[in-house]
A and B are shown apart, each in its own frame.
Chain A
Amino acid sequence: MSDLQKSNSNLQAVGCVEIDDLSIRFASPQGREVVAVETTDLRLEPGSFTALIGPSGCGKSTILNAIAGFVSPSSGSICVDGKAVTGPDPEVGVVFQQYALFPWFTAIGNVKFALKRFRLGREELQRQAHEALKEVGLGDRASAYPGQLSGGMKQRVALARTFASKPKVLLMDEPFGALDAQTRISMHELLLRIWDAHRTTVLFVTHDVDEALLLSDRVFVMSEGPGRIIDSFEVQSDRPRVVDQVDEHFVANRNRITKLLRQSHADSI
């Protein structure tokens, strides 16, 4: 852990997520019981960046939805800073794969939606919303509607909106999955820059191995059917990390994850 990180986590040890013995079961449309997530323990250190990687349908989004308060655990507990999660809470922000911007509001209107909970004055609301858009490089598109923006721009507005509500924990559900490779690289840089400035605890769900290793301090690997965590490790590679200049840790980690995913896939078919 760097000195900066250390001082930050001492300064504001908030955004700690603790998951104990979590399991989540659903009833399938045929009435059968489906185990989406099998007994899982997981801890997100305050201010850390954690990736949760696994194949599609392995239950990684379900874990994220449970931390967000969108689905209830069947057993076990989820606590954010010692408080049990009972429903959606602005302390826990979510960035969705499909952006979930409100198309009837402009870019700045979407950010203001998040800021309204602070009951600011008109001018302060406008100022902070504009500031948030400037941080993601969209200060000049404030009055554009989501329908007028590209996918990358939409996700930047969504980032600005979520950070504007000042969450202690940020959950990201394959946020860049729908973007092309170049846009994704610049989104990674942007996300890390904002994360560095805010030091929110981030849980980043993805099925992209490189993405997980480029962004995170710690990686959890999941397997499917039923979803469970099969491995977790620290990512030692120095930041900033660039995808075309990876070090030996990166290569070793990539091989490790890929092997795990391949094995668990082979087991499941």
Chain B
Amino acid sequence: MNSVKKIGKVLLSLSGVVAIWWLFALSDAVNPQLFPTPLAVWEAALELHQEGLLYSDLNVSLERAAIGFFTGSLLGIVIGLLTAQTRFFRFALNPFLTLLRPIPAIALVPVAIVWFGIGEPSKYFVISYTVFLAVWLNTHHGMEHIATTYLRAARSLGASRTREFFEVVIPAAAPHIVAGLRMGAALAFLALVAAELTGSSSGIGFRLQEARQFIRTDRMFVGLIELGILGALLDFIFVTMSRKIVHWEHL
């Protein structure tokens, strides 16, 4: 009942937005060529579907995002553990990674194209790079700021280093790691579009760019809405999962 109510509220709110959009698009304030009505966007979506592009773009983009996300987050967690736990890795990597952090993914696209061409590897590179930095930072931070009393309690209760690591350090850092993964997932989408806008021949980002050449704003809106829904869905999945993984944080 409660969740039905919630979904109902969301749908009601969204239909309000669509209604205002529709009225605005029909008014004389805007050129319908540049600002399509919801109906025109719906028809564009159907057209893309009939051309077989809607599904294949979605598929290609999701695969890129997923591969980049998994590579980046795996690396982020492993390097994060290393830099937080060993002095050598902290010394060797932290200053460099801190310099890398402010470089936006989009600035990396030209380099990625030169290095890896316009094929899939350049997308994986840009996405996993972005995800890696977010996950690394959160993992490192989470492991570095574990309450001393947890470690003291573990040691005075006779836990070995291995048990301390798996039963205290990892769960204590888990909320930060999970938050890093959630942020990483959102950034994976940003990096994905950045990588697809230039130098690619498929995917949601490419379709947006293609529509620009034909001034097909209706098709562009399809792409934007797709990205919005995907991102929101993904975030919802991550929030639900993190509630299960770090359940004690939500008591």
The stretch that binds B, out of A12-20, A97-105, A120-128, is A97-105
* Cβ contact within 8 Å between B158 and A94: no
- In the bound complex, residues from chain A placing their C-beta under 8 Å from that of B174 are 104
Q: Residue of B at shortest CB range from A146?
A: B248
| Given contacts A89-B156, A113-B159, A98 and B251 within 8 Å (CB-CB) | no
A96 in contact (CB, < 8 A): yes
* Cβ contact within 8 Å between B248 and A92: no
Partner of A113, one of B149, B167, B172: B167
Chain A 61-95 per-residue mask, 1 if CB under 8 angstroms from chain B, else 0: 00000001110000000000000000111101110
Partner of B153, one of A92, A96, A104: A96
Residue of B152, B158, B246, B247 with most partner-chain A CB within 10 A: B158
- B150-171 interface (Cβ within 8 A of A): 150, 152-159, 163, 167-168, 171
Chain B, interface size category, equals: 20 to 34
Partner of B248, one of A68, A93, A98, A103: A103
* Cβ contact within 8 Å between B158 and A102: no
CB distance from B165 to the nearest CB of A (A): 13
CB distance from A74 to the nearest CB of B (A): 20
In the assembled complex, the Cα of A171 lies from the Cα of B171 at a distance in Å of 26
- In the bound complex, residues from chain B placing their C-beta under 8 Å from that of A262 are none
- In the bound complex, residues from chain B placing their C-beta under 8 Å from that of A89 are 156, 158
| Given contacts A145-B248, A147-B248, A100 and B152 within 8 Å (CB-CB) | yes
* Cβ contact within 8 Å between B150 and A100: yes
B interface secondary structure, majority: helix
Q: Residue of B at shortest CB range from A70?
A: B152
Residue of B171, B249, B251 with most partner-chain A CB within 10 A: B251
Q: Residue of A at shortest CB range from B157?
A: A114
CB distance from A252 to the nearest CB of B (A): 36
* Cβ contact within 8 Å between B156 and A98: no
Q: Residue of B at shortest CB range from A166?
A: B158
* Cβ contact within 8 Å between A90 and B248: no
* Cβ contact within 8 Å between B153 and A94: yes
* Cβ contact within 8 Å between A161 and B248: no
In the assembled complex, the Cα of A88 lies from the Cα of B152 at a distance in Å of 8
Q: Residue of A at shortest CB range from B153?
A: A100
* Cβ contact within 8 Å between A87 and B155: yes
Partner of B171, one of A92, A96, A104, A116: A104
Partner of A69, one of B154, B156, B249: B156
In the assembled complex, the Cα of A69 lies from the Cα of B157 at a distance in Å of 12
Residue of B152, B157, B158, B251 with most partner-chain A CB within 10 A: B157
| Given contacts A116-B163, A147-B251, A102 and B150 within 8 Å (CB-CB) | yes
* Cβ contact within 8 Å between A68 and B156: yes
CB distance from B25 to the nearest CB of A (A): 50
Chain B residues with CB under 8 Å of chain A are 147, 149-150, 152-159, 163, 167-168, 171-172, 174, 246-249, 251
Nearest 4 pairs of A and B residues by beta carbon: A147-B251, A90-B158, A88-B155, A117-B158
Jot down 8 A-B pairs with beta carbons below 8 A, ordered by A.
A88-B156, A89-B156, A90-B156, A94-B153, A96-B149, A102-B150, A102-B168, A104-B174
